[in-house]
Structure 1
């Protein structure tokens, strides 16, 4: 069976050309060796609608990847939850729900972006419920692009200021929420991003061992992927020259 790759939290934007090139190199050089690529949210730092395409080079690179036979599934994050059908059609990617249950080697595995697990951040959870409302989204997408850009820029600024004032603990996952969702899904493996705290967390769920694997956020010169192949798991770096990867 071929490889399955998991990445998240790239936060691509026109202001970070080195990161864009790092990701395109990954799509051209590393990802084609895999059967499946999962992007678990926040591929883009902002997405204000499919009628605005700030990074056509990324869209084109994703299309080349899917045309070569690698299936690419993208989950909405807290920054790019307005990715829609037009983007999926243009890239050949598939948009998947959060959470999403998959099977790997007959093992059920739960995939999430991760923000739903941060239940201690009550203000963010209220905001999330509001902006994920289909009516609110429809009204936003009907607004002129210029207005949407101003709203997005204002949100990023206010979000950064709010995060700077919050304790670190409140922005991490809630362990009870993790156990509850894993139990409900009937899984003992959870993979997510969002928190930018990559680590494998061993836990016990109803007396049985379980694992929560947190994906790495990408920087301008380094990323990381979680790789599954033939029942084995490993973390693999991806750097500007591709160094450190195992093919």
Structure 2
């Protein structure tokens, strides 16, 4: 598998490929992102070998009991994809850690552990959201540890929807304020943690999102490649992997 520059000039429907996306932050307040995502699902993802969503699909997922028209629309898109025979895999991010078994049952999506090794056309790769790699962001890691407590999620999931939305709004406000006081380097991955995780799983390829810094990093010293997925704030972004190459690509939002 070799690296290819971005921008496809061939018919994607005629070849084997696997798609990876993350950090879409879907929300009713950004219909342009939603429209791009739905078009991608209907006309591109339906032709791939598999789709991997590596977290933060939603700006915030309040729980699998969300039956708003927006939530129903997104679930329907995944159900249509998996019903067509395309397997879809999901790793929870820091915005959708409450996505769980009910969502999986309703959509046919398979929810994976926070770190997972896949066989990608003969090459082993570890995939993850990427937030666990940012170990120098101490305040975020403390928050992450707290909200992943099973007892806390149990209580939250049983609150009325209007209360959950108020709590989420406060969490989002606090997160925005916290980011404004942090150095950018702190919110990026810690290189030593990347090496540790890749050695732990005995892989030479890692794919993740979270940092919103799309790039393909090559570590010659350790013979490792780390691919960072892009966000969907200004355009659609995805990683395309084929049996022979891989590249980061983009999709324009409709005007």
TM-score between both structures, scaled by the size of structure 1:
0.93
Q: Do the aligned residues in 1 keep the contact of 2:33 with 2:236 (CA within 8 Å)?
A: no
Report Cα offsets for 1:96-141 as digits up to 9, x if no partner.
1111110112211000100000000011111101110111110111
Q: 1:229 aligns with which of 221, 226, 242?
A: 242
Q: Do the aligned residues in 1 keep the contact of 2:229 with 2:248 (CA within 8 Å)?
A: no
Unpaired segments of 5 or more residues in structure 1?
242-247
Which residue of 2 is the match for residue 68 of structure 1? 84
Q: CA deviation at 1:224?
A: 1.6
Q: CA deviation at 1:219?
A: 2.3
Question: Which whole-Å CA distance do the structure 2 matches of 1:80 and 1:208 have between them?
Answer: 32
Show the 5 A alignment for 1:1-247: 2-54=16-68, 55=70, 56-204=72-220, 207-219=221-233, 222-240=235-253
Secondary structure in 2 matching 1:70: coil
Unpaired segments of 5 or more residues in structure 2?
1-14
TM-score between both structures, scaled by the size of structure 2:
0.90
Which aligned runs of 4 or more in structure 1 are off by greater than 3 angstroms?
Answer: none
Q: CA deviation at 1:223?
A: 1.0
Q: Do the aligned residues in 2 keep the contact of 1:74 with 1:93 (CA within 8 Å)?
A: yes
**Number of aligned residues:** 238
More strand by share: 1
Report Cα offsets for 1:166-211 as digits up to 9, x if no partner.
010100000011111111010111000000000111114xx54111
Q: Do the aligned residues in 2 keep the contact of 1:19 with 1:219 (CA within 8 Å)?
A: yes
The structure showing larger relative contact order (alpha-carbon pairs under 8 Å, at least 6 residues apart) is: 2
Q: CA deviation at 1:231?
A: 2.9
Which residue of 2 is the match for residue 245 of structure 1? none
Q: Do the aligned residues in 1 keep the contact of 2:89 with 2:109 (CA within 8 Å)?
A: yes
